[in-house]
């Protein structure tokens, strides 16, 4: 599924519903959640732990998720950072390569969240010139 299809389907209320607090139904499809794979290119500040933490916190807030814990780890000598945010609704993970201006970010959220709203937040936070996004429905029921 591409992101345009996902955004169109999930924003079409009242077709979207959360039946048990975790699984989502959009039209006739029921699934655990959406997993967004985001590649940011020509990005800046990818070695700045405070900026990365703020971007994650802002992403959690705009998506309507609940933050449980953030852990960031800096690698030397590149200054790259790997991090994970544990959410009540799943997770956000991030891996950066500052020397290449590249970040790989995963957002997996279930329940009544909207992870797609975090895309412009992340792109803006890192002043990325390009964001490539893939969207997957996880746990889709037959």
Domain locations along the chain: 33-135
pLDDT of residue 14: 38
What is the Cα–Cα distance from 102 to 105, expressed in whole angstroms? Answer: 10
What is the Cα–Cα distance from 57 to 86, expressed in whole angstroms? Answer: 11
CATH of 33-135, one of 3.60.90.10, 1.10.1750.10, 3.90.230.10, 2.40.10.10: 3.60.90.10
What is the Cα–Cα distance from 44 to 117, expressed in whole angstroms? Answer: 20
Helix (H, G, I), strand (E, B) or coil at 126: coil
Could you tell me the CA-to-CA distances from 118 to 37, 74, 97 in Å, in that order?
12, 23, 20
pLDDT per residue over 70-115, tens digit each?
999 999 888 999 999 999 999 999 999 999 999 999 999 998 899 9
Tell me which of 6 and 82 has the higher pLDDT: 82
Instruction: Tell me whether the omega of the peptide bond preceding residue 52 falls within 30 degrees of 0, making it cis.
Output: no
pTM equals 0.85
Residues labelled catalytic: 90, 95, 110
pLDDT per residue over 17-48, tens digit each?
665 667 888 778 888 999 999 999 999 999 99
Those residues whose C-beta lies under 8 Å from the C-beta of residue 38, and which sit 6 or more positions away, are: 103, 104, 105, 106, 107, 119, 122, 131, 132, 133
């Amino acid at each position: 599924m591409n992101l345009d299809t996902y955004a169109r389907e999930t924003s079409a209320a009242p077709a979207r519903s959360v039946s048990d607090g975790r699984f989502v139904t959009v039209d006739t499809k029921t699934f655990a959640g959406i997993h967004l794979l985001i590649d940011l290119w020509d990005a800046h500040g990818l070695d700045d732990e405070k900026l990365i933490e703020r971007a994650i916190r802002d992403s959690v807030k705009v998506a309507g998720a609940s933050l449980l814990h953030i852990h960031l780890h800096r690698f030397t000598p590149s200054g790259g950072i790997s991090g994970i945010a544990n959410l009540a609704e799943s997770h956000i993970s991030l891996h950066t390569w500052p020397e290449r201006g590249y970040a790989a970010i995963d957002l997996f959220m279930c329940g009544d969240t909207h992870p797609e709203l975090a895309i412009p937040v992340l792109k803006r936070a890192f002043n990325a010139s390009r964001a490539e996004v893939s969207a997957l429905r996880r746990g889709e029921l037959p």
